[in-house]
Amino acid sequence: MKAINKINILQKIIKDHILNKNTIGFIPTMGALHKGHLSLIQKAKHENDIVVVSIFVNPKQFNKQEDLDRYPHTLEQDKALIQDYANYVFCPDVDEMYPTGFQSTIHIGDLANILEGEHRPGHFDGMATVVLKLLHLCQPTRIYMGLKDYQQCLIVEQMVKDLDIPTKVVGVPTVREDSLLALSSRNLLLLPKDKKPAAQIFVALLKAQELILGGERDARIVERTIKAELEHISKKIDYVAVRSLSLETIPTIDQDVVILVALYLGGVRLIDNIIVRL
């Protein structure tokens, strides 16, 4: 695996691979890599000639300075974890990506204003800006996105469609700890005492799935039931939402749905979701 931190070097390498007609799998990440990231990278290796991983903690997608300041950085460990699977790791510094005078931002429409977007203003525009820049740099055949960040995955799909980017977006299922807690770089910030309650998030989602498969069709009742469960573990729940797979609000569950949750545990913001197929 070759580490690259300059854009012009990456561009030259990608140009050569495109000339050789190699397919390129690309995985954008913010580092602090874990087995969730690894599943995206392994899938990409299986499906493409070469694999490019980016590690860049993108300041533009953090709406709170404090959140950015304490985001974990584990670059050397990250490289060791992925070296057998990725051909290239692109890890630029902030000035390389956003040099003085940088002015452009991608603005996403309504899909970016709900759920995560409502609670993290500007987050998705910042994410889309860096992902579009990385797509231009890597020109991947496929980009791999985790379904753990369900709304993010939909937004990237929408952007790729709207802007005619010749890349397929591949959504990859969430990898979990044995406790069922979704793996996340932010789990490193959880206090030991909050680990057990954190695992209850997916337990509540599984109970909701059971409720729906048992015949409950009122989306608000399902939301209220999950919220009541989660209030035992968190004092700050940003949202619990039963939505269509394209994230529209639905009063009645008459189609496959996704249930999404965001909450705080000891100051750490966690998100998770479950797709329920009728």
- Give the interface size with ligand AMP as a residue count (CB under 6 A): 17
By CB under 6 A, is residue 126 in contact with ligand AMP?
no
Cα 26 to Cα 48: distance, rounded to the nearest angstrom = 9
DSSP string, 45-109: HHHSSEEEEEE---GGG-S-HHHHHTS---HHHHHHHHTTT-SEEE---HHHHS-TT--------
Among 184, 200, 234, 273, binds ligand AMP (CB under 6 A): 184
Contacts of residue 181, Cβ cutoff 8 Å, sequence gap at least 6: 187, 195, 198, 199, 201, 202
> Of the two residues 39 and 234, which places its CB atom closer to ligand AMP in the complex?
39
Q: d(Cα 110, Cα 117) in Å, to the nearest integer?
A: 9
Q: Looking at 4-12, 28-36, 98-106, 134-142, which segment touches ligand AMP (CB under 6 A)?
A: 28-36
Minimum gap (Å) between residue 229 Cβ and ligand AMP: 21
CB of 21 to ligand AMP, least distance (A): 27
Q: Is 40 in the site for ligand AMP (CB under 6 A)?
A: yes
| C-alpha span between 46 and 81 (Å, rounded) | 17
User: Would you name the residues annotated as active-site residues?
Assistant: 37
> Where does this chain touch ligand AMP (CB under 6 A) — which range of 33-41, 65-73, 93-101, 215-223?
33-41
Nearest of 41, 132, 122 to residue 88 by alpha carbon: 41
- Rounded to the nearest 10 degrees, the angle between the axes of helix 35-47 and helix 75-82 is 40
**Which span (128-136, 181-189, 214-222, 248-256) binds ligand AMP, by CB under 6 A?**
181-189
Binding test (CB under 6 A) with ligand AMP, winner from 146, 189, 205, 240: 146
Residues that bind ligand AMP (CB under 6 A): 29-30, 36-37, 39-40, 145-146, 148-149, 172, 174-175, 182-185
